[in-house]
Structure 1
Amino acid sequence: MPAVVLPKPLALAIRLTLSIGIATASTPLLAQDEAETSLDALVVSATALKVETPLVETPRPASVVDEEELLERNVQSLDETFRYRAGVVSGHYGADNDTDWFKIRGFDQATYQDGLRIYREGFYQWLPETYGLERVELLKGPASILYGEAPPGGVINAISKRPTDQAQGELQIQAGTNEHRQLGLDTSGPIGDSDSVSYRLVGLYRSADGDIDYTENERYYVAPSLRWDVSEDTSLTFLASLQKDDAVPYNGFKLAYGTIQDTPFGKVEPSTFYGEPGYDTNERTQFSVGYSLSHRFNNTWEFQQDTRYSELDLLLRSIYMSFQSGPREGTRGIVYRDGDLSSWTVDNRLVGTWFTDRTENTLLIGVDYQELETNGLELDNFAFSTIDIFDPTYGNFTPVSPADLTRRNITKEQTGLYLQNQLRLDDRWIFLAGARYDQAEVVDRNLTADSRQRADDDQISLSGGVMYLADNGFSPYLSWTESFQPIAGVDNNGNLYEPRVGEQLEFGVKYAPNSLDGYVTAAIYNIEEENSLVTSPSGFQVQEGVRETQGFELESVAYLTEQLELTAAYTYNDATTDNTSDNQPAAAANLIPRHSASVWLDYAFQDFAPGLKLGGGARYVGSTDDSFTGTEVPSYTVVDLMAQYQFVDNWIAQLNVNNVADREYVASCEFYCYYGEERSVVGTLSYRW
C-alpha cells in the first residue's frame, strides 16, 4: 500500500481529520414540526456495521440524510441526496430521468435498499422513489467485508418508510417548472385497537417534462407495509412496492464540439434533443415484496433476517449523439432493450452482545445469498442515423426490426459468509475486526450467437479499525477495508479475468462534544483499485489498470444558535488512472473534481415570524479533465434556496428553487459532454396530521 501523500496545504489539515458520525434523528411527520430542533441525539445506523451502532462511535466513514432533510430540500431522486455531504459527486450527467449517478471518493458504488442489494445491470436500473424513504445512509470506501462484491466507492442504503406506533399522515400537492405536478399520500398507524399490528401506505403520482426538449416522465408509485409484533421478542415487517414509469429518456450526450469547444456554427443549446419524438421511450415497471424479521433468544443473542424478491420489466428505445461525422453533422447511435430482471436476496445475521466489568463485545455472524437474472432482446448500434448537430430535424431513421436484435441472458450468484467483532474497552477504546468469504459467479450468454462469458471467483475480504473515545468528544480512528468485483470474460490466453480488487487506508477524527449541538468530522484516505481492464499496446484487453484516489474530507452539521443550522462539506480528491501496460504516466481520472465544497444554512424564526423557516445553500464543483478529448471542464457554483411556512395547525407551504440564477454550465465531459441542471422552482402544500 503506497503512503498517503497530500499537497502541502492539505497536510496542515491532517489534525482535523474525517468521516461522519451523527445527524438529526428521524421523527414522525407532524412531530418534525413540534419537536425542539436539536442534533444532540446520535444517529443509530445499521449500514456501517450491520449492527445498530451510533456512527460517532464507529471507525468507519459514513453519512446520513434523514427524512426531514429529504423533505426540506425536496429531494426528487436518489442522486440528489448527498449534494451537501463530503466525498460525493452527483449531477455530473445532468438531470437524467432513468438512472441515479454517483461517484464516491472517485469510484462507483453499490446501491442497497433496506439492507439488500438493488441490482442495476446495464440499462436495467432499479430506481428508489425518495418520497417512500425515511432516510438514506452512505458507507464510504470499500465495503466487501459486509456486502460482498461491489466497487470500492462504497454502499448507499435507502431505508423505506415503516409502520409507526402512532397514527399520522400527510397529503402533499406540488407544482413547478417544466410542468412538474405531484400528489403524495403517506398514512400510518395501528390497525384498529391493536397494539401489535400497524400499517403504512405511501402513494405518489408525479409527471414532469425534462430539461431537454421532448423528454418527460410520468410515475405511479405505491408502497404498503405491515408490522406485526408477534411477541416482546419477535417482530416481523412486510414491505412491498410497485412503481411504473412512462418516460422519454433524457439522453444528455453531447459532443465537446459545440459545448466546451468553439465552432463556426455557434454552440449547441442545452435543450437540444438528438432522439426521435414519438419513437424514443423508456417504459419501466418495478415490483418488490419482502420482509424483515428479528427474534431475540435471550439478553445475549438475536437473530435478524431480511429477504426480498424483485422484478423489473423494461422497454427502452433511446437514440443519442454518437460521434461527429461532418462540420455540422453527427452520427447517432441507438440503445434498445426489451426484457426483464428478477432477483432474490436474503441476509441472515446472528448478533451476540455480552459484557464484563471493562468490556462490551458485539459479535456478528452472517450468511447472505444474492441471485440475479436478466433476459431480453437488445441492440447497440453506434451508427444508426445522422442529424444536424446544431439544428436537428427528425424522421430520418429506420426503426429497429426484430432481425436486428440479440437475445441475451445474464445470471449472477453470490454466497457470502462473514464474521465481525466489535470490542469496547474501558469506554475508551473501540476495536473492530472482520473477515468474509465469498463465492461469486457471473455468466453472460449471447443466445443468438450461442456464446458466453463467465467470471467465477472465490474471495476473502478483511477489515479492521481502532478508535479512541476521549471525554472532550474528540475521537480519532484508523481503519482498513477491502473490496472485490468480478469481471465477466477471458483474456487473450483464454483464462478467466481476476476480479477487480480495492483497498482503503483511512485516518480520521469524529468530533461531537457535549458543548456542540452537532458534529465536525475529517479524514485523509487512500483507495487503490487493481486489475482494471485496459488496452495493451498490442491491442488486447489486459488487467494492468490501476485507479487510485488520495483524498481529504471535512464535514459538519451543527446548530450555531437555537434557530440557525449549518451543514458544510469540503472534499479534496486526487484521483488518477494508470495503464501500466503502455509505460505512460498516470492521468487524472475523468469526472472527478480535485476540489468540491458546499454549505447550507437554515434559519427558523421563532419570535419575529413563528412557523417560518428560510434556507439556502451553495454547491461548488471544481474543474475536471476529459482524457478522451484533452479538454478541461471549468468549475461551477450553483445556489439553492428554500422557504417554508407552517400556518393554521397542520398546514405547511414550501418553495424550493434550485440553481437560482439559472446558470448554464457543462457539468462534466467523458468523451461526451453533459449540461448541468437548469433552474427548477417547485411549490409544495402539505397537510399533516
Structure 2
Amino acid sequence: MRRLVVSVCVLNASSLAWAQQPPGAPSAVQLDAVTVYAPGETAEGPVVGYRATRSASATRTDTPLHDTPQSVTVLPRDVVEDTAATRLIDVLDYAGGVGRVNNFGGQGLALFSTRGFTSGEFYRNGFPINRGYPTAPDASTIERLEVVRGPSAALYGRGDPGGTFNIVSKQPLSRPAVTVGSQLSDQGLRRATVDATGPLDTEGKLAYRLNAVAEGGKTFRDGADTERYGVSPVISWQLTEATRIIFEADLMRNNAPLDRGRTAYTTQQGRSSRSVNLWEMGNGNLLHSDNAMAQVRFDHAINDDWTLAGGVQWMDGSLKGNAVEANGLQGDGRTLGRNANYRRLDWTDRTVQLNLTGKVDTWGIRHTLFTGVEYDNYDYASIIQRSAAGATAYPIDIFNPAVGQPWPALTRTTTHDRESLNTWAAFVQDQISLTDKLKALVGVRLERFKHDYTDLSPAARSFAKSDTAVTPRFGLMYDVTPTVAVYANTARSYKPNTGAQRLGGGFDPEKGRSNEVGVKWEALDRTLSVNGALYHTVKQNVQTVDPVDSSYRIATGEVRSQGLDLNVVGNITPAWRVIAGYALVDAEVTKDNVAPAGTRLANIPRTMASLLNVYTFQEGPARGLGLGAGIKHTADRPASTGTGAYTMKRYTVVDLLAFYQVNRKLRVNLDVRNLFNKDYDEGAFQSYVYPGAPRTVQVGMAYTF
C-alpha cells in the first residue's frame, strides 16, 4: 500500500465558524493529521502519466521494472489518449525499436519487428492472441501495452528471439462512469467509441467494463473504404476476499480491401503515387474478417504468501472474400500482371493455463517462485483460388491504372490445407534476492508439441511431426547505487516452422539464443527511467531455398542480430511527460543457400528513433491545455532478404498534438500527423510496400457522464 499523508489545517466550514467567533476566541482550529491509504501501482492497473514502475509481462509476477533483468517498455493509457491512437501499431511506434513490417494488406497488425527479427506472436493478459490471421485488438481496449525485448519462450512458449508484447486490457472500475468519444479526419476517418464501467451490485463485488467501437469511411488510398465494429465486455467478480474471477471477451468485425499498397520491383520505371490503387474496388476486392475471443481468468490467495491463478481462452476467427494481387512486372517496367482470387481462412485456438506463485525464505534468501502448466490447441484451414498466373494476365498500368476490369475466371487452387498444432508445457521460475543488492532470475520451460499438416492440393505433402523444446533463461541484477542497477541475461527461444519439405515431412523448429547486458537508472529524483542494453542473438533452422528445387524450402539457414537499445520514460514534472527510444541494429544472414553472408534482413533498419514529448498546463488561463510533438525516424531497409532487393528509403515523420480538458467531463483534441507530408514506406512484404499516410488533420472529443 502506498501511504498518502494529508495534513488539513483549516476547513472551509471551520473558516466560517471562526469568522463568527467572539473576540478573544482562538484564531484557528487545529486539526490532527489525517492518514489516507490508497493502493499503489500494480502490474495490471492504470499508470499515472507515462512512467510505470511495475510490470508482470517479463516475469509473469508483479515485479518492479528496476528489479527485472531484461529490457521492458510500458506504454500506458495516457500514451494512447495523448496521441489519439486508434490502432495498436500507432502506440507501438513509441515503444522504441519496434518496426512496422507486414500489415497483411491493411487487415491489421500481422507482423512487427524487434531487435532485428520479424515476429507475429503477442499476447493479451498473458494469453496468445495472434494465431491465424485475426484483426489486432482496437486501441480503445488498451490499459497498458508492454514490450518485452529478447526471448520470452521460458514463460510464453513458441516465438522469435527478438521480443514480444503483452496487452493489459482495461478492467472494471469501482466508480460508475460512461465516456463517449469520436474522432474525425480529413482523410475520411469516422469513428465513435463508448467506454462504460462501474459496479453491478451494492457491495461492489461485481463490476463491469464495456468498450465498443464503430468506425468507417475513406482512407488516403483510392477506393479503399473500410469498416470496423467491435465490442469488448469485461466482468469482474470478487467471489470471496481471497478469490476473484474475470470474464473478458472481444468481438470484432472488420471489412476492408486487401490493399497491397505499391509494387516494389527493381525493374520499375519509378514509384507510383501513394494514393494509387492497383487492386480493384468494391466487392471485387473486399475481405470480411470476423474475430471472437473469450477469456475466463481467476486468482485465489491461498494465504499471504501463495496464490493460485490461471484461466482458459477460446479464439475463433475467419477471413474470407475477394482480392487482387500481383503476378509480375512486364518488360516495359510499368505493366503489371495480376491475379484475382478468393480466399477463406478459418482458425480456432484454445489455451488453458494454471499457475502457482509463492514467496519463500530459505536461510535468509528470499525467493519468488512461479510455476505452472499450459495446454494449447491451434487449428487452421485455408483455401485460396486464383485466376491465371503470368505477367500478361489481368494487366494494369501501375502509373495510370484503369480499375474496374471484368473479373477473370478462377482457374487455380494454389492453397488448400489444414493444420493442427497441439502443445503441452510445464515451467518453473525462481526470482532470488541473494542480498539486498544482488538478485537472480532462473527459469526453464519444457514444451512438447505435435504438428499435423494435411495438404489437400495435388502435391499432397501431408505430415505429422512431434518434437520437444527446452528453453531456459538466466539473469542477474546488481544495484550499484539505490538508483543505478546493472544486469545480464541469457535465454533461448524456439518456434515451429510451417509448411512441408519437397520429399514430404515437416521442418525442424527454429531455435534462437540471446545474450544481453544492460543498465537501469532512475534519474532526476526517480522521475525519469533510463534503460540501456547491448545484445547478441542468433537464430538457426531458418527456412532457405532447397538447392534441388527452388520452389521448395529447407530449414538450414542462420541469421544473426546484435545491437543497442536505449529507452527513456518519465514524468519529469506533473506537467511534463516524455517517452523516447533509440535502437541500433545490425541484422544479417550468416548462412543461406541463396543470399550471401552479410545480406541484410527484410524490413530491418540499422537505426530507429522515436520521441513523444507532451506538456500540460497546470494553472492559469491555459490550465488543462496539452501540447506535444511526436517524432519517428526509421533508416533505410531492404524490402526483402536477398541480393538486388528494393530499398525503402529512410524517413522522419513529425506529428503535432493538442488536447484541452475543458472541464472534468469534456476533453477535445486536434492533431496534425505527418506535418511535413513526407512520402515514405512503412513496411514491405515480398514485392509489395505499404505507403505511410500523408499529412492528416484529426479532431476528436470525449465526454464523460
After TM superposition, the score normalised by the length of structure 1 is: 0.89
SS in 2 for 1:346: strand
Which of 610, 626, 635 is 1:622 aligned to? 635
- Residue in 2 that maps onto 1:686: 702
* Equivalent in the alignment of 1:319: 324
Indicate if the aligned counterparts of 2:103 and 2:109 stay in contact, CA closer than 8 A: no
2:222 equivalent to 1:218: no
Instruction: Please state how far the C-alpha of 1:356 moved relative to its aligned partner.
Output: 5.6
Q: CA deviation at 1:675?
A: 2.2
How far 1:153 moved relative to its partner? 2.3
Alpha-carbon RMSD across the aligned residues, in angstroms, is: 2.6
Matched position secondary structure for 1:71? helix
Q: Distance in 1 between matches of 2:497 and 2:429?
A: 27
1:97 and 1:491 mapped to 2: Cα distance?
29
Give the equivalent residue in structure 2 for 1:646.
661
Which of 196, 201, 224 is matched with 1:187 structurally? 196
The answer for the alignment partner of 1:596 in structure 2 is 608
Q: Corresponding residue for 2:261?
A: 252
Deviation of residue 401 (structure 1)? Answer: 4.6
Q: Distance in 2 between matches of 1:666 and 1:606?
A: 39
Where structure 2 has 5 or more consecutive residues not aligned to the other structure, the ranges are: 1-39
CA distance, structure 1, for counterparts of residue 174 and residue 235 of structure 2: 11
The aligned residue for residue 360 of structure 1 is: 366
> Could you tell me how far apart the structure 1 residues matched to 2:187 and 2:356 are?
49
After superposition, give the CA deviation of every residue in 1:288-322 in whole Å (9 maximum; x if it has no partner): 22211001111222111121111112213221233
Structure 2 match to 1:662: 677
Contact 1:300 1:353 in 2 (8 A): yes
C-alpha separation in 2, matches of 1:582 and 1:220: 44
2:353 counterpart residue number: 347
2:625 aligned partner, one-letter code? L
1:332 is aligned to 338
Give the partner amino acid of 1:292: R
> Is the counterpart of residue 119 in structure 1 residue 124 in structure 2?
no
Q: Superposed, which structure 2 residues align to 1:488-637 within 5 Å?
A: 488-489=498-499, 491=501, 496-513=506-523, 515-539=525-549, 541-581=553-593, 584-608=596-620, 609-626=622-639, 627-637=642-652
1:135-146 equivalence runs, <5 A: 135-146=144-155
Question: Which residue of structure 2 lines up, in the alignment, with residue 456 of structure 1?
Answer: 466
Q: Paired residue for 1:416?
A: 425
Is this contact kept in 1: 2:142–2:169, CA < 8 A? yes
Measured at CA, do residues 23 and 526 of structure 1 come closer, stay the same or move farther in structure 2, by a change above 3 Å?
farther
Instruction: Classify 1:92/1:345 alpha carbon distance in 2 versus 1 (closer, same or farther; 3 Å).
Output: closer
Identity of paired residues, percent?
26
Cα distance, 1:55 vs. partner?
1.7
Sort the Cα spacing of 1:494 and 1:92 in 2 relative to 1 into closer, same or farther, 3 A. closer
Please identify, of 222-231 and 160-169, the stretch whose mean Cα deviation from structure 2 is larger. 160-169
TM-aligned CA distance change 1:511 to 1:333, over 3 Å: farther
- C-alpha contact (below 8 Å) 1:455/1:487 kept by paired residues: no
Q: TM-score, normalised by structure 2?
A: 0.87
Are the aligned partners of 1:78 and 1:100 in contact in 2 as well (CA < 8 Å)?
no
Q: Which residue of 1 aligns with 2:95?
A: 85
| Structure 1 residues 15-414: aligned runs within 5 Å | 39=51, 42-90=52-100, 96-109=106-119, 110-121=121-132, 124-256=133-265, 263=269, 267-278=271-282, 279-327=284-332, 328-355=334-361, 358-379=364-385, 382-383=389-390, 385-399=394-408, 401=410, 404=413, 407-414=416-423
- Which secondary structure state, in structure 2, belongs to the residue aligned with residue 186 of structure 1? strand
Query: SS in structure 2 opposite 1:393?
Result: coil
Q: How far apart in 1 are the matches of 2:593 and 2:272? A: 38
Maintained 8 Å contact 2:101/2:118: no
Distance 2:636 2:596 in 1: 23
Q: Which residue of the partner structure matches residue 468 of structure 1?
A: 478
Task: For 1:516 and 1:238, locate their aligned partners in 2 and report how far apart those are by CA, in whole Å.
Answer: 36
Provide the C-alpha distance between the structure 2 equivalents of 1:304 and 1:137, rounded to a whole number of angstroms.
Answer: 21
- Contact between 1:628 and 1:671, CA under 8 Å: does it hold in 2? no
Distance, in Å, in 2 between the alignment partners of 1:134 and 1:400 is: 47
Contact 2:107–2:258, Cα closer than 8 Å, also in 1: yes
Match of 2:23 in 1: none
1:267: how far off? 4.1
Structure-2 separation of matches of 1:408 and 1:494: 14
Q: Does the Cα contact within 8 Å between 1:386 and 1:396 map onto a contact in 2?
A: no
Q: Which amino acid aligns with 1:248?
A: P
Distance 1:646 1:623, change over 3 A: same
- Worse-matched range after superposition: 523-532 or 622-631: 622-631
3-state SS of the aligned residue for 2:155?
Answer: helix
Separation of aligned partners in 2, 1:404 and 1:527: 39
Partner of 2:660, secondary structure, is strand
- Distance in 1 (alpha carbons) for counterparts of 2:331 and 2:41: 54
Secondary structure (helix, strand or coil) at the match of 2:92 reads coil
Partner Cα distance (2:83, 2:536) in 1: 32
Q: Give the 3-state SS of the residue equivalent to 2:80 in structure 1.
A: helix
The whole-number CA distance in structure 2 between the counterparts of 1:380 and 1:412 is 27
- AA partner of residue 621 (structure 1): T
How many residues were matched structurally? 653
Relative to structure 1, the CA distance from residue 511 to residue 100 in structure 2 (aligned partners, 3 Å threshold; closer, same or farther) is: same
| Offset of residue 496 of structure 1 | 4.1
Instruction: Decide whether aligned partners of structure 1 residues 254 and 334 sit closer, same or farther in structure 2, where only a CA change above 3 A counts.
Output: same
SS of structure 1 residue aligned to 2:89 = helix
Alpha-carbon distance in structure 2 between the residues aligned to 1:218 and 1:655: 23
Task: Give ranges in structure 1 of 5+ residues lacking alignment.
Answer: 1-21
